[in-house]
Amino acid sequence: MKNINILTDKLDRSVPPVPGLPKDVNFPSFYETVTSNGITVLVIEDRRLPLVTARFVFKSGAYFDFLHGAEKSGLASVTSEMLSKGTALRSATKIAEETDFLGATLSTGADFDASYVSCYSLTKHFDSIFEIATDVIRNPAFLEEELSRVKEQRLNSFLAMKDDGDYLASRAYKKGIFGSNPLGSSVDGNEKSVSGMTTEDLVEFYRMHFTPDNLIVAFVGDISPETAVEKLEKCFADVKGEGAEMQNFSPPPLNEPKILLTRKEGAVQSSLRVGHTSICRNDPDFVNVSVMNTILGGYFTSRINKNLREVHGFTYSARSALSSHRYGGDLSVITEVKTDITANTIREILKEMNMLRDVAPDSEELQNVKNFISGNFPLQLETPNSVATKAINLKLFGLPEDYYSTYIRKVNQLTSEEIHETAAKYLHPGRLVMSIAGDVEAVSKLVSEFGEPEIISDNQN
């Protein structure tokens, strides 16, 4: 490209600008301490705006449901949701009204790895929203009428999702690769587990896991470390107890493909979830596997989407997903296609997996993926809550403190040969679980070439 004098020459807009070299994100440094009763505290002081976020994370999520029994799937999620449904001091309505009046936010939830409470407000209202969050965490009432309402909502949601092919395929897929491992169940639970849930179950989960030594609290924004620690000591110093230990369940070994078919009434297309177990979040190869997955199907111009959408016109969208948790994970390809091309689609998925294992990606393809990841990563740090979450993840998953500050550098240092070696090590086309929801009778004949299909009845999920 020729040099342009902006005073004398016209800018040639037909020539794209040359991108600069990717730069590491300067993840903010944070203050860290442990309170007198064992709460880990992280504080990122940022005085640019009069806003404060606090995120409370208890290191027990849906993976810990099984400590309470094989039929307790969804217990962490329901317990977390019920925190804001009434306390000894406030009703659910009062909590919502007070939060809205402050112009603040208060949210609760759970995933496989943790249960959380988050609050966010202007600095001048932070004392008030923090007091509400403290009340929610310390004094949940677990009222029977509120639990009945939550259970009814979930059961209605499960009923509605039985018409969702992706949900049906994913549900059978998780059971297929993880078996009785907790990762084989849904964070939200299922019809049987939610129906049988009692307030006593919630109280027991709360007692065992909502303990100070199991808690990480991150503050981000217009607050000093001294003030943050003082607030926690004042509100939680008298809380005692130790969190329950969790064993690591091993998924069942799988040395050959497994085909699972779930009936979806009136289906004219197949919902596919095809994959196998993968690495934990703190695995040293996580960055390598993540980049490999992006090439395979992790963004719009990936191989899977280009093949199934652009080349063959099988679908509007196809992608692959890497889900990594503290105690395990999986890598899968997800798409929906017409029933009669179900087998053709699986063949193409297998072809792309084998090609990535057999041949190193060329430098241009790898650079495009690096550019995508390098450009997307800073967007994940745009809000105080996302910064708080990432700071907590360093502790939750045992990641190095410079993990985020060196992430872009590590991505851009990867070579084509390293991606090739990663694919050969972590992609296993011969050990896939192929879960398909749709017209079982039609699909079973089409996919028999990949193995003996197993039809999943509704009560097996």
Average pLDDT, the chain: 93
- Determine the Cα–Cα distance for residues 12 and 200; give it in Å rounded to an integer: 70
pLDDT for 113-131, tens place per residue?
999 999 999 999 999 999 9
Q: What is the pLDDT of residue 457?
A: 78
Q: Which residue has the tokens 């070299």?
A: 21
Q: How big is the CA angle at 186 (ends 185 and 191), to the nearest 5 degrees?
A: 95
pLDDT of 390 over the 60 cut: yes
Q: Indicate the SS3 state at residue 79.
A: helix
Q: What is the pLDDT of residue 453?
A: 95
pLDDT for 316-366, tens place per residue?
999 999 999 999 999 999 999 999 999 999 999 999 999 999 999 999 999
pLDDT of 135 over the 80 cut: yes
Ranges of beta strands (E only) in 280-424 are: 318-325, 328-338
- Determine the Cα–Cα distance for residues 258 and 134; give it in Å rounded to an integer: 48
31-34 β-sheet, strand order: 31-34, 40-45, 215-221, 51-58, 115-122, 105-110
- Determine the Cα–Cα distance for residues 212 and 229; give it in Å rounded to an integer: 14
Q: How large is the greatest C-alpha to C-alpha distance in the chain, in angstroms?
A: 78
- Determine the Cα–Cα distance for residues 202 and 414; give it in Å rounded to an integer: 46
pLDDT of 7 over the 70 cut: no
- Going by pLDDT thresholds of 50, 70 and 90, the confidence category of residue 1 is very low
pTM: 0.91
Contacts of 325 (CB under 8 A, 6+ apart): 63, 112, 113, 183, 280, 281
Please report the domains of the chain, with CATH numbers, ordered by start residue: 31-236 (3.30.830.10), 258-460 (3.30.830.10)
Amino acid at 195: S
User: Which of 207, 205, 239 minimizes the C-alpha distance to 38?
Assistant: 239
- Determine the Cα–Cα distance for residues 212 and 114; give it in Å rounded to an integer: 14
pLDDT of 393 over the 80 cut: yes
Q: Which residues of 172-189 are buried (b: 16+ CB within 10 A; e: fewer)?
A: bbbbbbbeebbbbbbbbb
